[in-house]
Structures are given as structure tokens and as C-alpha cells.
């Protein structure tokens, strides 16, 4: 035990093994849904679902362990929501790449992220982001997390005008801006369980009960059993259910290399391949940076000194540098196993809020995910309605970052507001950051203060604009 405390520097970070355990378990429950959702989304491309299930777990375990043991920070890494949807609906369905070729694109994206991390490009991106936007990103992620929780809780319904939507190839639909969200009537069990769990968690927090968020998750899961929300009847241990993922993973393991051969064989598809690689890299980089800045600055995991040291240190001496490298390694590893881009999970904020401060939190999270290979039926009992209140509460806590923004200064408030709101409404952290960058530069140009804009911010904003233009051209059939 003393070696563990020494390795992770628990006393220096004013934490304990028990606190890190609770934090790791909390993070695990907040994001464990990915091992069930990811196979569903990627399975639409024709990928074997059982193989994706196992690849998702293994990619999460490897990436999260690397984050904990190498960087000593309490962040978990897993295939990203949004990135898996881009993999399926855009790369495979819209751009017509096979899932093997899509894995090859993800692998290349991971290699690019490793290169820009090792060469400090990725680290200097952080230095280029103004403090006001850093705080806006943190508060915006809070709103984003709250919205995810609200959706997972089943508390929202959406109404659209007749004729305002159309189906897309591969399933799903696109609906125009006439769609309106509204609070559910609470006539079903799912939102009721979530609401009960939310109230329990709030009461426990107000009474300063340790582990309140985790207790709320467990309580909501138990309450959900008689209400038919927690699917205990589906728990069944059979040898066939255990070995099926291992039998199928051979189809996805190293399939990225198979896709590499055909990916560049047709030069007419090269522009689309490069566009997909660029979009993956851009989204992955800014999702990760946004998560680190938004959660790390507020909790003290990444201090101003830690961020400043990036510019002057060599190698991987700071926690931020090590964390960025760990995140970049995980994407390529995940592609080789057979899953879409891995990224640092914003749900890690749930564990951080209950006291997680070191990589031991990540190690515990990885262990719990590894156990899912054997205990997946039990893990499946924890419904999204039980973890949704945790995300909503964390969102409220993270919104505190907004207090650091000078809202009375319109020039500062404008890009901050756009960044925070757009990332939630667009359901994409990277897009929110893009809008923040764009309006920040507009402000500086109008103020004739362009010298205050970091060169990387100019380049990043230009790439975002190029991405928007190319996607618009693709939508109207020009490319």
C-alpha cells in the first residue's frame, strides 16, 4: 500500500486510496454505457457487434491505464460518442468507405495526433487559447454534460413539424430547425427513476455525504429494479455469451491494415479520405484539449504553472504533456483492436468532482472496465437513468467556471458565450470551440488588436473554416 501511495503521490495530492477508489468507480458508472452503445452504432456498418464490444473494453482499459500510470491524472479514455457517429454515418454511410477503411482512417488520425503531440504542436495549441475561452470551455462542458444527463434520463421529448424530416441511408433521420425540445410528461418509469435519483443525489450533496454521487447511482439502480428500468431479468451467465466476443474479435483485430490497402488505391477518393482524416484529428484534438482545460483547471489537476511549463520543458515532464501523449497513443491502439477514435472522456469529471486527483482513479476505472468482460450482464443492470443524475450534478458544478469571465465586457462575453452554447446545442465540443475561436478573432480584428491572436489560433480557426466549407460542398454535391 505504501508503494501505491508513493507511486501516485497520494499525500502530495491530498487524497487517499479509498477516495481514488470511489472516484474511479464513479467515473466507471458515468461512462460504462459506451460498452453497450458503441457496438450498436458501429455495428450498423457491418462490424461484428460482439467484436466491437470486446474491442471497446480493451481500448478503454489500455488507454485509461496508460493515462493513469504514465500521466498520473484521473482521466479515462474510451471510444468517443460523436466520433463513433461520425465513423458510421459520415465516413461509412455518406462517404461510402468500408468499415475496414474507416478503421484505417482512424489509425492514421492516431499517428497524426502522436506526431503533433511529440512535436509540441498539440501542447502549444493549449497556450494559444485565451483565458476567457478556457473558462468558457469549462463552463460550456458543464452545460454539455448536463444536457447529456437530461437526454439519458429520458426527460426530453422532441416535436417536429410535419414534413420537416427525411430518412438517411443506413438508418436515422435528419430534421430541420423546426424541432422543439420539451420536458417529458413523466408518464413513464425511466424519467421517474432518473428524477428520484437526482433528488437523492442533491439531498446527499447538501448534507455533504461522501460518495454522494456514487450512492445516488446505486440507489437509482435499485429503485429501478421493481419499476422495470434496471433489467435484472436479462442477467444470465453462459459460456457462449462469454466466449462470443473472443471468437469474433479476430475479424476486427488489425482490420485497419486491410483497409489501408484499399483506402488509397482509388485516387478519386483521396480528397474524401483526407477530409475524413482531417475531421477526425481536428475533433479528437479539440475534444481532448477542451476536456483537460475545462475540468483540469477548475479542479487544480492542471495548474497555470503546469500549462506554462509546456512552452519551456523538454520531453514529457509535465502532467499535461504526458496526458496528451497518453490520449494520442490510445486512438491508434483502439483502431488496431477494432473501434472508432478513443478520446479523453468528459465524464471523467464525475470522478474528479468526488475527489479523484491522481492516476490511481484511472487505474481503478480501468480495472472495473476489465471486469466487464466477465460481468457484463451485471454491469448492464445499471441503466442510463441511474447515471444521468450524476452527469447533471457534475454539469452544475462545472458551470462555476463562468464566474471567471467578464460578462460585462461584450468583447470577452461574445466568443465565450458562443463557445459554451454552441457546443451544447451542436452536441459537439469541437464545434463549440470553433465558434469561440471564430468570434474571438472577429472581435480582435474589429478592435485592431490582431497581434494578441496567437498564430496557432489563426491556423486552427482557418482549418475549422476550411472544414465547414468542405462539408458544405460535400452536402450540396460539389465534392
Backbone dihedral region for residue 79 (phi beyond 0: left; psi -120 to 50: alpha; all else: beta): beta
- The helix (H) or strand (E) run that includes residue 417 is helix 410-425
- C-alpha grid cell, residue 387: 447515471
- C-alpha grid cell, residue 167: 430518412
More confident residue, 121 or 184: 184
For the beta carbon of residue 421, count every other beta carbon within 10 angstroms: 17
Q: Provide the pLDDT for residue 274.
A: 80
**What value does the mean pLDDT take over residues 297-320?**
67
User: How many Å apart are CA 452 and CA 15, to the nearest integer?
Assistant: 39
More confident residue, 303 or 24: 24
Look at 125-129, 283-287, 322-326, 374-378 and tell me which has the smallest mean pLDDT: 374-378
CB 430 within 8 A of CB 80: no
Burial class of residue 463, CB neighbours in 10 A (0-12, 13-18, 19+): middle
Whether residue 309 has pLDDT greater than 70: no
Whether residue 461 has pLDDT greater than 80: yes
Contacts of 19 (CB under 8 A, 6+ apart): 354, 355, 356
Q: How big is the chain, counted in residues?
A: 479
Radius of gyration of the chain from its Cα atoms, rounded to whole angstroms: 22
Contacts of 290 (CB under 8 A, 6+ apart): 137, 141, 423, 429, 430, 432, 433
CB 217 within 8 A of CB 387: yes
For residue 405, how far is the Cα from the chain centroid? 24
CB 342 within 8 A of CB 330: yes
User: How many Å apart are CA 321 and CA 315, to the nearest integer?
Assistant: 8
Q: Where are the domains of the chain?
A: 14-150+237-376+405-476
Whether residue 405 has pLDDT greater than 90: yes
Question: What percentage of the chain exceeds 90 in pLDDT?
Answer: 39
**What value does the mean pLDDT take over residues 290-305?**
73
User: How many Å apart are CA 62 and CA 76, to the nearest integer?
Assistant: 10
Look at 58-62, 231-235, 304-308, 339-343 and tell me which has the smallest mean pLDDT: 304-308
Look at 60-64, 180-184, 303-307 and tell me which has the smallest mean pLDDT: 303-307
User: How many Å apart are CA 334 and CA 317, to the nearest integer?
Assistant: 25
CB 128 within 8 A of CB 454: yes
- Name the pTM for this structure: 0.76
Look at 184-198, 252-266, 374-388 and tell me which has the smallest mean pLDDT: 374-388
Q: Provide the pLDDT for residue 236.
A: 64
Contacts of 145 (CB under 8 A, 6+ apart): 346, 347, 349, 391, 392, 394, 395, 398
More confident residue, 129 or 23: 23
Closest CA relative to residue 430, chosen from 254, 287, 295, 288: 287
User: How many Å apart are CA 231 and CA 128, to the nearest integer?
Assistant: 47
Question: What percentage of the chain exceeds 70 in pLDDT?
Answer: 91
DSSP 8-state class, residue 251: G
Contacts of 229 (CB under 8 A, 6+ apart): 189, 190, 193, 383, 385, 386
- C-alpha grid cell, residue 88: 458510421
Amino acid at each position: 500500500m505504501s508503494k501505491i501511495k508513493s507511486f501516485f503521490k497520494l499525500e502530495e495530492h491530498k487524497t487517499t486510496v479509498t477516495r481514488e477508489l470511489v472516484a474511479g468507480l464513479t467515473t466507471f458508472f458515468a461512462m460504462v454505457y459506451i460498452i453497450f452503445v458503441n457496438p450498436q452504432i458501429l455495428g450498423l456498418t457491418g462490424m461484428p457487434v460482439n467484436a466491437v464490444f470486446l474491442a471497446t473494453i480493451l481500448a478503454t482499459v489500455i488507454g485509461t491505464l496508460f493515462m493513469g500510470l504514465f500521466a498520473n491524472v484521473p482521466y479515462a479514455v474510451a471510444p468517443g460518442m460523436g466520433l463513433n457517429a461520425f465513423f458510421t454515418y459520415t465516413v461509412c454511410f455518406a462517404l461510402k468507405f468500408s468499415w475496414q477503411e474507416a478503421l484505417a482512417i482512424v489509425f492514421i488520425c492516431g499517428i497524426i495526433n502522436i506526431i503533433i503531440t511529440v512535436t509540441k504542436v498539440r501542447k502549444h495549441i493549449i497556450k494559444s487559447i485565451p483565458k476567457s475561452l478556457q473558462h468558457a470551455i469549462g463552463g460550456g462542458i458543464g452545460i454539455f454534460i448536463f444536457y447529456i444527463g437530461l437526454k439519458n434520463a429520458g426527460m426530453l421529448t422532441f416535436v417536429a413539424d410535419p414534413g420537416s424530416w427525411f430518412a438517411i441511408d443506413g438508418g436515422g433521420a435528419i430534421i430541420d430547425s423546426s424541432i422543439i425540445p420539451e420536458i417529458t410528461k413523466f408518464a413513464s418509469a425511466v424519467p421517474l427513476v432518473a428524477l428520484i435519483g437526482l433528488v437523492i443525489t442533491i439531498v446527499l450533496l447538501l448534507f455533504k455525504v461522501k460518495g454522494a454521487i456514487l450512492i445516488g447511482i446505486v440507489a437509482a439502480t435499485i429503485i429501478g429494479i421493481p419499476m422495470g428500468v434496471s433489467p435484472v431479468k436479462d442477467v444470465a451467465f453462459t459460456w457462449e455469451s462469454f466466449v462470443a466476443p473472443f471468437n469474433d474479435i479476430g475479424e476486427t483485430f488489425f482490420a485497419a491494415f486491410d483497409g489501408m490497402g484499399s483506402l488509397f488505391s482509388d485516387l478519386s477518393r483521396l480528397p474524401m479520405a483526407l477530409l475524413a482524416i482531417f475531421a477526425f484529428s481536428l475533433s479528437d484534438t479539440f475534444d481532448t484539449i477542451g476536456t483537460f482545460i475545462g475540468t483540469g483547471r477548475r479542479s487544480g489537476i492542471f495548474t497555470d504553472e503546469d500549462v506554462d511549463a509546456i512552452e519551456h520543458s523538454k520531453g514529457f515532464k509535465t502532467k499535461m504533456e504526458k496526458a496528451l501523449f497518453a490520449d494520442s497513443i490510445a486512438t491508434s491502439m483502439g483502431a488496431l483492436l477494432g473501434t472508432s477514435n478513443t478520446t479523453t472522456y468528459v465524464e471523467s469529471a464525475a470522478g474528479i468532482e468526488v475527489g479523484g486527483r491522481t492516476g490511481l482513479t484511472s487505474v481503478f476505472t480501468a480495472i472495473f472496465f476489465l471486469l466487464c468482460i466477465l460481468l457484463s450482464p451485471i454491469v448492464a443492470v445499471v441503466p442510463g437513468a441511474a447515471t444521468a443524475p450524476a452527469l447533471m450534478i457534475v454539469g452544475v458544478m462545472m458551470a462555476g467556471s463562468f464566474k471567471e469571465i467578464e460578462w460585462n465586457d461584450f468583447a470577452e462575453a461574445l466568443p465565450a458565450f458562443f463557445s459554451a452554447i454552441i457546443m451544447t446545442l451542436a452536441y459537439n465540443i469541437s464545434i463549440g470551440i470553433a465558434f469561440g475561436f471564430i468570434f474571438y478573432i472577429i472581435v480582435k480584428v474589429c478592435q485592431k488588436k490582431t497581434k494578441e491572436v496567437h498564430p496557432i489560433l489563426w491556423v486552427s480557426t482557418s482549418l475549422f473554416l476550411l472544414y465547414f466549407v468542405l462539408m458544405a460542398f460535400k452536402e450540396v454535391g460539389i465534392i
